[in-house]
Amino acid sequence: MGIDLSGSWNQLWGRISGGAGGLFTALAMLGVGLLVWSLIVFIWKKRSGGANPQSLIYSTATGAVLCGPNIIIPILLKFVDWIVDLVVALLKF
């Protein structure tokens, strides 16, 4: 494995969020709850025929911003790590 962007992010974010106690963890849990709730409401309204996709977009964006530093950014960085490692392995081949 070549680079570890997600590990570096976790170290950086751990130092930043260390002084805030559990605030960022609570915001991440709130964001995930908002994502799940908005998806359930959208599916329920779609089933009854009155779904508004714009409300799903707004609530998804809000939930993603809330849980971004703890959940979304590490997932994206792991994906980038995988892509870079794949490209390096192909170039070495």
pTM of this prediction?
0.68
| Average pLDDT taken over every residue of the chain | 86
Judged against a pLDDT cut of 80, whether residue 23 lies above it is answered with yes
Rounded alpha-carbon distances, angstroms, from residue 75 to 42, 54, 64, 70, 86 = 25, 25, 12, 9, 17
How confident is the model over 43-80, as pLDDT tens digits?
A: 998 888 877 788 888 888 888 888 888 888 888 999 99
Tokens read off for 10: 């976790």
- Whether residue 1 is predicted with pLDDT greater than 60 in this model: the reply is no
Q: What is the mean pLDDT of residues 21-38?
A: 88
Rg, the chain, Cα only: 18
| Count of structural domains within the chain | 1
Quote the pLDDT of residue 69.
86
Which pLDDT band holds residue 25 (cuts at 50, 70, 90)?
Answer: confident
Q: Whole-angstrom Cα distance, residue 17 to residue 7?
A: 15
Domain residues for 77? 5-92
